[in-house]
Amino acid sequence: MRGERRTCKVIGILGLTLALVMLSGSAQARMWVGAQIGANFAASQDVTMNDTGDVVVWKNARVEPAVIAGLTIGYDFVREGFLGYNYPDWMKYFSFAVDFTYNRYDMREQFLSGTINGDLGKISFPDINNLDGARVEGTMAVLSFLFFGKYGFFPDAEVPFGRLQPYLGVGPGIMFSSVDGFKDVGGLGLGSASSVDIALVTEAGVRYMALKNVSLDLGFRYRYGAPSYSITGAAFPGQTVNIKFDTHQFSALFRVGYHF
């Protein structure tokens, strides 16, 4: 699928960037690279489908839990270490990170209620439709730009800032997503589509500096996005079907970082 090929290319570029940065590191632990893995959960969502003049709204479609994984590059605003600068002392409580994650976003066949607003007006239907028999397969890849505030506890000679560091981060993201498997109200397959949208990303967690240059993070992340997809000529040649939904995703992440 075109969207998945683009995602693999982005992962490759980020991986090369991480490798080059690691090779140029110095002795102090003020910039980091890391890898992360965890579990991703999405809230049930309403799916709106504009199908040849009929607007169909599927209510509370459930999304399957998935594994989430990714890479991160971060920087502490301190005077020491790689790319160190004479920042004010108070800036040591802040960091910035560029973060990339990838996860599946699948909706299994399920019984759903909803509404159809068309030539006959607005009609509600009960739980008798099985998403028109369609298993929807999707992907979510998010490139995030996060600003973090943090505080250190239990300082020692090796980690003067503190080995235990609770943190809170927020920032925008670019969401690359794709879907495949939706069917129209007549049961015809629509095909696949991709979308690029702005996302909101927040994360709260705690970092433990196991070594001067090695950190272990446990974080809880929330992501919001509103992707929309247009598929032309799949079910009805020459006509376009528009699909959209709001996605609320919650991730539990474990991250290992190398600092230099």
The mean pLDDT of the chain is 81
Quickly state the pLDDT bin for 233 (edges 50, 70, 90): low
DSSP assignment letter at 183: B
207-212 long-range contacts, Cβ below 8 Å, gap at least 24?
A: 207/150, 207/164, 207/165, 207/166, 207/167, 207/257, 208/163, 208/164, 208/165, 209/29, 209/159, 209/162, 209/163, 209/164, 209/165, 211/158, 212/29, 212/158, 212/159, 212/259
* 188-213: average pLDDT: 90
Distance CA 205, CA 220 (A): 6
Cβ distance 168 to 149 under 8 Å? yes
pLDDT in tens, 128-175: 554 555 678 899 999 999 999 999 999 999 888 999 999 999 999 999
Token output for 117 = 């607003």
Distance CA 106, CA 45 (A): 12
Q: Does residue 3 have a pLDDT over 60? A: no
pLDDT in tens, 62-105: 999 999 999 999 998 876 655 556 778 898 999 999 999 999 99
Rounded percentage of the chain residues whose pLDDT exceeds 90: 48
Cβ distance 220 to 249 under 8 Å? no
The more confident residue out of 242 and 239 is 242
Stated pTM of the model? 0.80
* 177-184: average pLDDT: 78
Quickly state the pLDDT bin for 8 (edges 50, 70, 90): low
The more confident residue out of 192 and 199 is 199
pLDDT of residue 9: 54
Rounded percentage of the chain residues whose pLDDT exceeds 70: 73
pLDDT of residue 27: 36
